[in-house]
Amino acid sequence: MPEKLFDKAVFSLAEVARSIQKAIAARYKSVYWIKAEMNKLNHYAHSGHCYPELVEKMDGKVIAEMRSVLWNGDYRRVNQRFIEITGEPLKNGVTILFQATISYDPLYGMTLRIMDIDPAYSLGELEKERQESISRLKKEGIFQANKGLSLPVVPKRLAIISVETSKGYADFLKIVDGNPWGYRFEKTLFPALLQGDKSIPSIINQLTRIAEHSDAYDAVAIIRGGGGEVGLSSYNNYMLAATIAKFPIPILTGIGHSTNETVSEMVAYKKAITPSELADFLIRRFHNFALSVSRARDIIIQRATQLLALYKTSLNDIGRYFRLNSIHLVKQQQKALGHGRIQLNMASIMSLRQAQQQVLNAQQGLKTISLASLKNTKVDLTSTERSINLLDPRQVLGRGYSITRLNGRAVKSTDGIQKGDIVETSLASGNIISTVKELNPSDE
């Protein structure tokens, strides 16, 4: 009963709490199905109990929060079932549909006691987010943007987003560093969280860092170990997938799973099921280039050998011709001596000497022609290399030119551009993001 104080009915805090307790107990007598995001699981290993922190968000802001309890026995049962269905244990950041009782304690306040969790609902929420991200990326016309970029023939300079202690990262390094051909990669690690809600801003921040120096890298590799659907949910996030899709250089993924393809993998330049497979892909690029160089070398050796053989044959033919003439002249001299004509035929001797000189001249000519041919070939190769270097986009940008892209594709004219479009201009150093306010089509 309230006490009277200055003609006012005054209730004690305990009375108010007990009143609320009775009201809630009378109102909420059943078991209810509730959906919420499990912001933190709060599992205590020594007791086995969990005290999940449940929230509901709207536009990224928390609009409701409540504490709950999941006793040891219930936790072991529902967690085992969650693992069997989703391939992952209960963890922070998972949206769940759970069955609970509602109670109020004067000391601990409102509490939801979780009795059961439906893992199928969590999978359904993940698929819903996945489809929404795909639809939005396609509507914005950037779904294929990263795939439309050009990966260098030999992607040697890699920016890697991973965790230094990740098994997937260790597997990747073991293969690329231990390849039997001795191919060498330039690798820079950008550490990031790779699962959970915090992985989204973590990966995006590292991609932003890399984009500021994108000319220093040939590709970006996102690498993590294996995991179930729940652990990969962040890779279906629209913001992360959009950042990958619009990235200025090719992005390669090896995030360790073989089930549903995530949206981030769909928009990336190349998806590998595992980090090891991604490493094999990069080594194949090196090896295919090496084989082409080897074949070119073999062709050069073969053609040079054929050319030398041809010159050698011609030289042998010339030598054989002059040897026959020399033998004929000697026989003529012998015949003349046999008939008493002792005087030597000086004209024949001179003819033999001239033939010998012609052989020497032919040998010197062959040597001169061969050296000149090799020198001209070297000049042609040097000129070709210089032309290729001048056409390198980085060289062109360095001369004051720029490249303007709309949705990841190079802009060549005002056709297809509208006011309000956002374009990205690449300079020799850095990028400029612009909004189209006015178009001046060419008069041609």
At 341, is the pLDDT very low, low, confident or very high (cuts 50, 70, 90)? Answer: very low
Tell me the three-class secondary structure of 309-353, residue by residue: HHHHHHHHHHHHHHHHHHHHHHHHHHHHHHCCCCCCCHHHHHHHH
Q: What is the mean pLDDT of residues 199-213?
A: 95
Count of CB atoms situated within 10 Å of the CB of 340? 6
Report which of 265, 232, 194 is spatially closest to residue 87, judged by C-alpha positions: 232
Query: What is the bridge-based pairing of β-strands 109-118 and 157-162?
Result: unpaired
Q: Is 294 helix (H, G, I), strand (E, B) or coil?
A: helix
How far does CA 430 lie from the centroid of its chain? 21
- Residue 221 near residue 254 (C-beta atoms within 8 A): yes
What pLDDT is recorded for position 258? 58
d(CA 98, CA 77): 13
What pLDDT is recorded for position 230? 57
Q: What is the mean pLDDT of residues 76-90?
A: 88
Residue in the structure block whose two tokens are 């970006």: 220
Q: What is the pLDDT of residues 420-436, one digit of tens each?
A: 888 788 787 778 888 88
Residue 378 identity: K
pTM here is 0.55
Which structure tokens are listed for 178? 């231990």
d(CA 180, CA 176): 9
d(CA 255, CA 248): 21
| Backbone angles phi and psi of 194, in degrees to 5 | -120, 0
Q: What percent of the chain has pLDDT over 90?
A: 39
Q: What is the pLDDT of residues 229-256, one digit of tens each?
A: 556 778 999 999 999 999 999 999 998 7
What pLDDT is recorded for position 101? 94
- Residue 116, pLDDT > 60, answer yes
Pick from 121-130, 234-243, 325-334, 401-410: least confident: 325-334
Angle at 17 between CA 13 and CA 23, to 5 degrees: 145
What pLDDT is recorded for position 73? 95
